[in-house]
Amino acid sequence: MFSLQTIFGKGTRFFALLESAARGAEDATEALHELVRNSNDEPSLEEFKLARQRERDVAAAISNELVQTFVTPLEREDIEALGSALYKIPKQVEKFADRFVHARQHLHGIDFAPRAAMLQEAAHVVVEMVSGLRKMNLDNMKALSDRLRAIESEADRLILELYRDLYSGKYEGLQVILIKDFFEILEKAIDRCREAGVVTYQIVLKNS
């Protein structure tokens, strides 16, 4: 027999799960920032693997709640879309970390920390946006969306500068390939944050 809570939805549970996913994504970007800032230390991928496992657990919990809840506080497809978007952030971060650990001997003198800091900032904005779903304040959400878009635009500008630098001839062939690959992964991770922000903003637009 269904309880009224099951029929009408455990709204706070969905919000809590989405917030947990957003915080997990931010934690992964913070770990990445630490990794590239301390590249001389012996690196470990354990933290990134744990972050990805936490995201998988949250994704499974969201799916389970959707099955068990008849009426949800947000549209089901919106919950699924946001959960999926958040899941992709630590996935991209782990991709960078895994490759960085194996290639760092070829990347001496390449400073990824400023771009990793931008990624961490973008992930923090996503946390603020997802946390804002409880209040559905459109003005606040628009301000956060604009901030996230500005970070993405700056990342796009910097990647174009990077291409000009790479084609200047001052790097060897392998370094050109690696530098281009790693910075593009970081830019893609920022794009993933932006995608999560867009989904969140659209949810608020629908419900305001």
User: Structural domain boundaries of the chain?
Assistant: 4-207
- 47 token code pair: 């933290």
Q: Check pLDDT > 60 for residue 51.
A: yes
Among 104-108, 144-148, 160-164, the range of highest mean pLDDT: 144-148
CATH of domain 4-207: 1.20.58.220
Residue 9 binned pLDDT confidence (cut-offs 50, 70, 90): very low
Quick one: pLDDT band at residue 104, thresholds 50, 70, 90? confident
Please determine, for residue 3, whether its predicted confidence score (pLDDT) is greater than 50: no
CA 119/CA 30 separation, integer angstroms? 9
pTM: 0.90
